[in-house]
Amino acid sequence: MFVLFSHPGDFTPVCTTEFVSFAKHYDDFKKLNTELIGLSVDTDISHIEWVQWIEKTLGVKIPFPIIADPLGNVSRALGMLHAESSTNTVRTVFIVDDKATIRTILYYPLELGRNIPEILRIVRSLQLIDKYGVVMPANWPYNEIIGENVLNPPPHHVEEAPKRLQQYKAMPGG
């Protein structure tokens, strides 16, 4: 699995906080066998200088690659360019599984930094869905009704419904 995320520009305040947060959660992504890849329309030189600045100034090493897309070819093809500016990438997140299927797409406005723990939660959820064939409740693993439990998918046929009641444990009151 990998997470491809675009950012509007190197050396900008919100992007810097996001990259530091991704770096600080890098081991969490690695434990989930998930790679991180950044992207913007900035140049290789800009990325290199920015990463060095982050390490020198903030003491955080950026451990994942950043794609330079100065012509915007990749950004344009993936819908990562800002609608009002062909020179800025939006805050896009693509979560791609090991079969090269895009499983999640998130778009954030320029003014709002991403929630990295939420991206980790999505990766964990997708992996559990794939492994066990379950579905995830709202706010998992902190669901207001069933806590950290997961749900069984609904039956696909009428004939399956009675079997599922015998096969799976029901929720209280259900």
Report the residue count for the chain.
Answer: 174
**Residue 65 and residue 39 in contact, taking contact as beta carbons nearer than 8 Å:** no
- 3-class DSSP assignment, residue 38: strand
Encoded tokens for 4? 């491809």
- Does residue 80 have an active-site annotation? no
**Residue 8 and residue 111 in contact, taking contact as beta carbons nearer than 8 Å:** no
Q: Calculate the CA 51 to chain-centre distance.
A: 21
**Residue 16 and residue 54 in contact, taking contact as beta carbons nearer than 8 Å:** yes
Task: Check 3, 4, 15, 80 and give the catalytic one.
Answer: 15
Q: Where are the alpha helices (DSSP H) in 32-159?
A: 44-58, 73-77, 116-132
- 3-class DSSP assignment, residue 96: strand
Residue 116: CB partners within 8 Å, gap ≥ 6? 18, 21, 22, 25
Residues with catalytic roles: 15
